[in-house]
Structure 1
Amino acid sequence: MMKIFSSLALVMGLMLSSVSSYAAEAASKTFVVITSESVETQGMALVLSLQALKNGSDVRILLCDHGGDIAKKDYQATPLQPLNATPQQLLKKAMSNGAKADVCALYLPNRGLGMDALIEGVSNAKPPQIGTYMADPSVRYFTF
C-alpha cells in the first residue's frame, strides 16, 4: 500500500511540475495588437507591454490602423499623465527594453507611405511570420 502512495505522490509531483513548466512557458510570450485611435488606450497597451517585459515576457507589438500612427516619425500626441509620456515614447522605451514592433503589412501601402516614414526600429510585418507567431500556443494575445 505504501508503494502505491509513494508512486502516486511521485506521479502527482511530476504532473504538477509539468503544469508549472507549461504555465511558465505559456506566459513567456506576449503579443499586443494596437488598433485604437484613443491615445489613452494606446498608452495603456504600451504601459502593460512594458510591465510584461519587466516580468520577463518576450513582447511583440503589432501596430495596425490608427495604432500604426504611433510609429510614424511625424506622430504627435499630448503626453499622458502621470507618466508625462506619449504612446510613441512608451513604444520606444518598450523597444529599447527588447520588444519587437511592426506595423501591419497593409498600413504603409494604404497610406502611400514607405519605411522611411517610420521611427527607427519599427518593421513592416510579414503575415506568414505573424501568423506563425499567433499560432504558437505559448503566446498570450491582447488587443487594444
Structure 2
Amino acid sequence: MSIKTTLTLAATATAVALSGAALADSHGGEDHAYDDMAERALVILTSDSLQTQGMAMILSNAMQQQGAELSILLCDAAGDLAIEGYASAEPINTPPENPAGQVTPEGILQMLMDNGAQVEVCAIYLPNSEHEQEDLREGVGVAAPGPMAEMMRDPKIPVFSF
C-alpha cells in the first residue's frame, strides 16, 4: 500500500468518525434538549405493510413524546387505519425490553389522536374505497389538497413518508 493510499484512508476514516460523532451529537444523548427541534411534523402513511404502519406509528409516538405537534395523513391502504372498528390481521411484537409486548398500528394511532394528533385521510381515499365519511374514527377528517400542500411546502414542518 502506498503512502498516498494510507493517508487517504486515514483521512477518510477520520472524516467518517468525526461526522458520526457530530451526527450522534445532533441527534441527542440522554441530556439532549429538544428546544431547537421542529415543533410540528407531518407523517404521510400509504403502505399496506403491517410493520411499516407500525413503525410509522411508533416513530410518530416518539415525536409526539418529544413535543412535536403531529399531523398524520393516511392514504391508500393505510387509510383503513382510520376506519372505526378496523383491526390489523395480527399484532406487532415489540422488542423484549418493551413492556407493551404487542401493539397494533390502529391502537397507536388512536393513542396519538387521544394525545392531540390531527389525523386525516387523503381526499381520494373515501371515493376509491367501500367506506363513507361516517365510517371514519371519531376525530378523523378528510384532507383538503390546498392546506395539505401548504403544510408540505412549509420549510418549518418536516415531512416523513412511509
TM-score range, shorter chain: 0.7 to 0.9
2:154 maps to 1:143: no
List 4+ stretches of structure 1 deviating above 6 A: none
Match of 2:148 in 1: 130
The whole-number CA distance in structure 1 between the counterparts of 2:62 and 2:115 is: 11
Unaligned runs of 5+ in 1: 1-22
Match of 2:53 in 1: 42
1:110 to 128, 139, 142: 128
SS at 1:31's partner residue? strand
The whole-number CA distance in structure 2 between the counterparts of 1:114 and 1:55 is: 34
2:115 maps to 1:92: no
2:80 maps to 1:64: no
Match of 1:5 in 2: none
The one-letter code matched in structure 1 to 2:156 is S
**How many Å apart are 1:33 and its aligned residue?**
0.4
The whole-number CA distance in structure 1 between the counterparts of 2:155 and 2:68 is: 14
Q: Which has the higher contact order (CA 8 A, sep 6+)?
A: 1
The whole-number CA distance in structure 1 between the counterparts of 2:41 and 2:146 is: 18
SS at 2:87's partner residue? coil
Larger displacement relative to structure 2 (50-59 or 65-74): 65-74
2:92 maps to 1:80: yes
- Cα RMSD (Å): 1.4
Q: Note the alpha carbon deviations across 1:48-69, whole angstroms, 9 max, x for none.
A: 0011011011111000001101
Match of 1:52 in 2: 63
The whole-number CA distance in structure 2 between the counterparts of 1:141 and 1:131 is: 11
SS at 1:50's partner residue? helix
The one-letter code matched in structure 2 to 1:98 is G
**How many Å apart are 1:97 and its aligned residue?**
1.1
Give the TM-score of the pair, scaled to structure 2. Answer: 0.71
The whole-number CA distance in structure 1 between the counterparts of 2:106 and 2:130 is: 21
**How many Å apart are 1:113 and its aligned residue?**
2.4
Q: Percentage identity across aligned positions? A: 40
Unaligned runs of 5+ in 2: 1-34, 95-99
SS at 2:119's partner residue? strand
Larger displacement relative to structure 2 (84-93 or 73-82): 73-82
Matched residue pairs, number? Answer: 121
